[in-house]
Amino acid sequence: MKTWTKVLLGVALSLLCLFTTIGYADLTTDLTVVGEAEATPPEALYITAIVPQSASSGASVTINYFTNTVVNSRVNLGSNGRNTVTYRITVFNNTDVEYGYNAMIYTVGEGTFDNTNIKVVPNIQHRESVPAHTSKTFDVTVSYKNTSSISNTVLNSVIIYEFLPMAEIPESDDETAVGGVLSQFENILNNRVEGQSNTYETLDTQMKNNTDNDRIGENGKTYIGNVEDASDKDKEVLNKLFAGQLSLNINGEDMPVTILIKSQNVDGQAGNEMVIYMTTDDLVKSSTWRNENAPVYVAAFKQVTRNDGTTEWIRQGDMYLGEARITSYNGFMGNGSFNTDTWETDEARTYTVTSQYSYTVASGQSMANIMQVVDANARNELARLILKASEILADGRYSGNALLDLVDSLETYQDYYNKECSEGRENAVYGLNLFALTGGKTQTENYFKIDGKTDTKDCVLLVFNFLRYQEDLQFECISFICTVVRECSSILN
């Protein structure tokens, strides 16, 4: 077994909590919970109880199950159009950070929301806080939309009440809606949609299906959308791929997102980008014959090749807010869609969803101009460098340039990990083999000195998640690692 000398640094790592099922119990005859499960409470925010508050005569609701913040239910409102059912949900934030309510997400699939004349309204506001290690209760009311015409009294639904760390929740309702769509689009491109396989291939195949009559006048162009007059097949494919993100309920109001996805070259380099255009506007003009614009968010993704030969779609630059001309589908005069060729920025700042940072983009810029001029020598290059940098930090699952394979030092690593856990710090370790950094302006020995040695052979930089304990050091640590890699190697060249 090889022995490694360890140098420790703390770095903030984003961790995704894995949710587990919690226990359930019978409630009342008006609200019934079916099924039972037990598990250790996860380090996450999750539902702990659902309790009935009121139900009109002839109305009932059955909670088939709830897990994490997902509720599977069956509601029967009866024949009276004024009937309602209200139940109370309690969530518990079993983490050390403040969470907030983001949105209600309708999942997609058979029996997941099968009655469009019934509405579900949670009495909780966007960004309403749930402090660390506290509970929050809120009521959910189910009622009819159209009380004068009732043909179906039953709603089967699977609904996600989404809570996120407060720092990750956008300020505005619009940004919340398009932010979820943007994140899901990246998952689709990289085949990371839970419960679905080959999502990119599914999207690409349908985009190239120019036989649909919704593409009249656009023959040969590769695109797809859920706009008005798009084919049923296009809408069906997108609804499944986006798994409910195209229709959120925020502050009790449905906020559908209309999208157009195009394969087009906006950065002036070889190959096309996948560009997504998103709006929450109703796309209805005050007059059919007038030229009017709608606010439209845009983001572009580029396919890049990693050092190991695998590919990944990464976002080019940021997500930008601009305006585009309202039209009918295929660019004709009318309503229900928008002309992506007319899109340009209309405010002198970017809109970001996944980053707290922002920089100035002048108004009147096209997407091509942003990609080729504003971002060409800054954001796009930074994205590629970050991608490369991610390959020189390993968690034991990867191998390649300047990587420590933790399997080779499993015993030593496990001993140190156990010591960390015994002291109440459960840290995920990453390793950087310092001796493998070569070809730079200086040597790693100039940064690290080991008694009795003249080089850094068998010296490994172990990076831990100390965000919780040393938050003020996280950026200094990241900067230090970047300096070592850049100064001591040519791997980022």
Distance CA 405, CA 407 (A): 5
Domain co-membership, 309 together with 398: no
Residue 18 CB-density burial (10 A; 0-12 exposed, 13-18 middle, 19+ buried): exposed
Domain co-membership, 262 together with 409: no
| 21, part of any domain | no
Check residue 163 and give its pLDDT: 93
Domain co-membership, 39 together with 181: no
The domain of 462 spans: 394-488
Domain co-membership, 158 together with 144: yes
Distance CA 47, CA 65 (A): 11
Domain co-membership, 326 together with 405: no
Check residue 269 and give its pLDDT: 82
Check residue 260 and give its pLDDT: 94
| 347, part of any domain | yes
Q: What is the mean pLDDT of residues 143-157?
A: 87
The pLDDT confidence band at residue 3, using thresholds 50, 70 and 90, is: very low
Task: Flag whether pLDDT at 28 surpasses 70.
Answer: no
| 7, part of any domain | no
Domain co-membership, 106 together with 214: no
DSSP secondary structure letter of residue 440: S
Check residue 350 and give its pLDDT: 63
Task: Please tell me whether the overall predicted TM-score, pTM, comes out greater than 0.85 for this model.
Answer: no
| 5, part of any domain | no
Domain count, the chain: 3
Residues 6+ apart with CB under 8 A from 328: 228, 229, 334, 335, 336, 337
Closest by CA to 458, choosing from 106, 6, 92, 60, is: 6
| 14, part of any domain | no
Tell me if residue 471 falls in helix, strand or coil. helix
Mean pLDDT of the chain: 75
Q: Which of 342, 373, 390 is the last residue of a domain?
A: 390
Q: Which of 139, 167, 195 is the last residue of a domain?
A: 167
Q: Which of 126, 145, 167 is the last residue of a domain?
A: 167
Domain co-membership, 269 together with 380: yes
Domain co-membership, 357 together with 250: yes
Domain co-membership, 299 together with 205: yes
Task: Flag whether pLDDT at 355 surpasses 90.
Answer: no
The answer to which of 312-316, 386-390, 473-477 has the lowest mean pLDDT is 386-390
| 142, part of any domain | yes
Check residue 262 and give its pLDDT: 92
Domain co-membership, 183 together with 275: yes
Domain co-membership, 150 together with 212: no
The pLDDT confidence band at residue 333, using thresholds 50, 70 and 90, is: confident
Higher pLDDT pick, 486 / 122:
122
Distance CA 487, CA 373 (A): 29
Distance CA 6, CA 459 (A): 6
Say what percent of the chain tops pLDDT 70: 67
**Helix, strand, coil abundance in the chain, percent, nearest 5:** 20, 35, 45
The pLDDT confidence band at residue 362, using thresholds 50, 70 and 90, is: confident
